[in-house]
C-alpha cells in the first residue's frame, strides 16, 4: 500500500515539512477550510507531489476521526505533521484551549491508534510553553495523561484560573510537549516515534498577526534582543522536522526541541544589550 503522510494545518510550516518528507508518498493536507487545504495542495502538486486535500476541525472528535478514515483509505499512515493552531491574538481563551490543547491531544490520540510501525510524527508547539513558570508535578501529569475528553475539565484550565489569551496559549503549548512525551510511550508500542518542535517567532501569517497585534511591540523586542537577532523561517523548521521524522532521528522520541534563536534564553537569563563588533 502507498505510504501516507498526513499534514494537519496546511500553512507555511506544515507545507515546508511536507516538502521534505513527502516525496514518493501520498501527502494528505488538511486545514480548517477545504478551500485553504486545496490551495496548499495545488502548490505541492505543482511541485511534483502526490497530494490530496481535506477539511478538518481539530476541536471535533468526529472531524478528526473522519480525517483518520480518509488517510487510511489512501494507504498506510507512516507520517503525521501536526501544525494547526491559533495564536493569542487570533482567538479567545476558550478557543485557544479547545484548539491548541484539546485538539492536539485528539490528533495524537486518534492517529496514535493507526500509525504504522516505523512511522513518525512531529507536533509544532511554541517557545511560549517554555516561558510559562513551572507547574506542579501533579499538573504536569494531568496535562500529559488525563483522557482527552477530560482534559478541558482540569482545575488549572477553569475560568478565573487562566488569566488571558497568552496564558491560555502558554498552558496549551506546555501541555503539547507534555502530551507528546506521554504519547511517545504509547506510540512506541506500535514501533512509531513522536516529537515536538517549539519554534520561536517564525515568519508566517500567524506571526504577522502577532507582530501587528496588541503584543506586537513585545514580539519585535524579542526578535531584536535574542542571540540570533532575527525571526526564523518555515524552511528552518522543516529541516529540523525532517531530521526528527527520518532515519537520522531514529533514537529521538518523546522529546521537545526548542528552536527560537535564543529568545527563551534571553527571557530567563537576560537579553543582549549590544552586538560584539570584534
By annotation, the residues acting in catalysis are: 169, 173
Characterise 75 by phi-psi region: left (phi > 0), alpha (psi -120 to 50), beta (else): left
* Residue 20 grid coordinates: 521534505
- What are the CA-CA distances from residue 81 to residues 108, 139, 212 (Å)? 10, 26, 28
- Tell whether the torsion through CA atoms of 126, 184, 107 and 167 is positive or negative: negative
| 30 Cβ contact list (under 8 Å, min separation 6) | 6, 7, 8, 9, 10, 37, 53, 54, 55, 56, 67
- Say how far apart CA 218 and CA 124 lie, in whole Å: 22
- Say how far apart CA 80 and CA 219 lie, in whole Å: 29
| 24 Cβ contact list (under 8 Å, min separation 6) | 3
Helix (H) or strand (E) holding 63: helix 61-74
Maximum Cα–Cα distance across the chain: 59
- Say how far apart CA 142 and CA 162 lie, in whole Å: 16
Helices 34-46 and 12-21, interaxial angle, to 10°? Answer: 40
Instruction: Give the residue from 63, 7, 13, 6 showing the smallest Cα distance to 231.
Output: 13
| 160: helix, strand or coil | coil
Amino acid at each position: 500500500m502507498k505510504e501516507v503522510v498526513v499534514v494537519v494545518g496546511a500553512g507555511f510550516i506544515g507545507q515546508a515539512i511536507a516538502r521534505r518528507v513527502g516525496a514518493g508518498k501520498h501527502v494528505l493536507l488538511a486545514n480548517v477550510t477545504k478551500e485553504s487545504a486545496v490551495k496548499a495542495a495545488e502548490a505541492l502538486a505543482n511541485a511534483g507531489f502526490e497530494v490530496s486535500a481535506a477539511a478538518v476541525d481539530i476541536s471535533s472528535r468526529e472531524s478528526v476521526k473522519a480525517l483518520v478514515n480518509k488517510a487510511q483509505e489512501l494507504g498506510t499512515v507512516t507520517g503525521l505533521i501536526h501544525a494547526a493552531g491559533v495564536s493569542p491574538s487570533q482567538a479567545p481563551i476558550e478557543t485557544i484551549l479547545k484548539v491548541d490543547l484539546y485538539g492536539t491531544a485528539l490528533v495524537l490520540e486518534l492517529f496514535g491508534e493507526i500509525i504504522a510501525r516505523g512511522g513518525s510524527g512531529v507536533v509544532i508547539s511554541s517557545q511560549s510553553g517554555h516561558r510559562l513558570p513551572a507547574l506542579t508535578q501533579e499538573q504536569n501529569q494531568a496535562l500529559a495523561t488525563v483522557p482527552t475528553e477530560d482534559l478541558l475539565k482540569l482545575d488549572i484550565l477553569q475560568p478565573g484560573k487562566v488569566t488571558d489569551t497568552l496564558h491560555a496559549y502558554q498552558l496549551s503549548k506546555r501541555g503539547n510537549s507534555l502530551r507528546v512525551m506521554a504519547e511517545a510511550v504509547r506510540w512506541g508500542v506500535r514501533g512509531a516515534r513522536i516529537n515536538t518542535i517549539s519554534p520561536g517567532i517564525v515568519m508566517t501569517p500567524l506571526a504577522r498577526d502577532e507582530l501587528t497585534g496588541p503584543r506586537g511591540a513585545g514580539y519585535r523586542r524579542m526578535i531584536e534582543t535574542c542571540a540570533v537577532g532575527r525571526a526564523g523561517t518555515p524552511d528552518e523548521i522543516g529541516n529540523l522536522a525532517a531530521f526528527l521524522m527520518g532515519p537520522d532521528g531514529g533514537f529521538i522520541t518523546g522529546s521537545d526541541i526548542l528552536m527560537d534563536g535564543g529568545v527563551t534564553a534571553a527571557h530567563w537569563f537576560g537579553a543582549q544589550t549590544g552586538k560584539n563588533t570584534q
